[in-house]
Each structure stands twice: as structure tokens, then as C-alpha cells.
Amino acid sequence: MPHTHAHTKAEAIHEALEVFENAHHHEPDAHEKARLVSDTIKEWEHEEVEALHSGDTAA
């Protein structure tokens, strides 16, 4: 999954849905959307933790 670079979870999910629709030329079904939302939140939270840790080491 690509890095989200979004400021909020909502932005990350919105971007992930747009990427999916552009790549697959259709909206995700319920199962695809659930998986996409779950994966996107996991990636976004991972990036937030990395950013916090990199900020701690720089200080």
C-alpha cells in the first residue's frame, strides 16, 4: 500500500477510494471497501507513529 501523506484518516481513506476507483474503473464493493479502509487506517497510523518517533530522535 502506498504512503498516504494525508493529514487525517478521513483524507487518507478518501484518497485510497479514489485510487481504487481510478485503477479498477469501478467503485469498490462492500468487502473491497472494508479491506481498503482497514488497510488505509493501518498504514496511516503506522506513518503517524513513524513521524512521532522521528520527531523524538531529532529533539
Q: Give 41's contacts (C-beta < 8 A, 6+ positions apart).
A: 9, 12, 13
Q: What is the pLDDT of residues 16-54, one digit of tens each?
A: 999 999 999 999 999 999 999 999 999 999 999 998 888
At 4 the pLDDT is 54
The single residue listed with the C-alpha cell 479498477 is: 24
Q: Domains of the chain: which residue ranges?
A: 9-58
Q: Rounded CA gap, 59 and 50, in Å?
A: 14
Q: What is the pLDDT of residues 1-13, one digit of tens each?
A: 455 578 899 999 9
**In angstroms, what CA-CA distances link 26 with 3, 22, 33, 39?**
22, 8, 12, 19
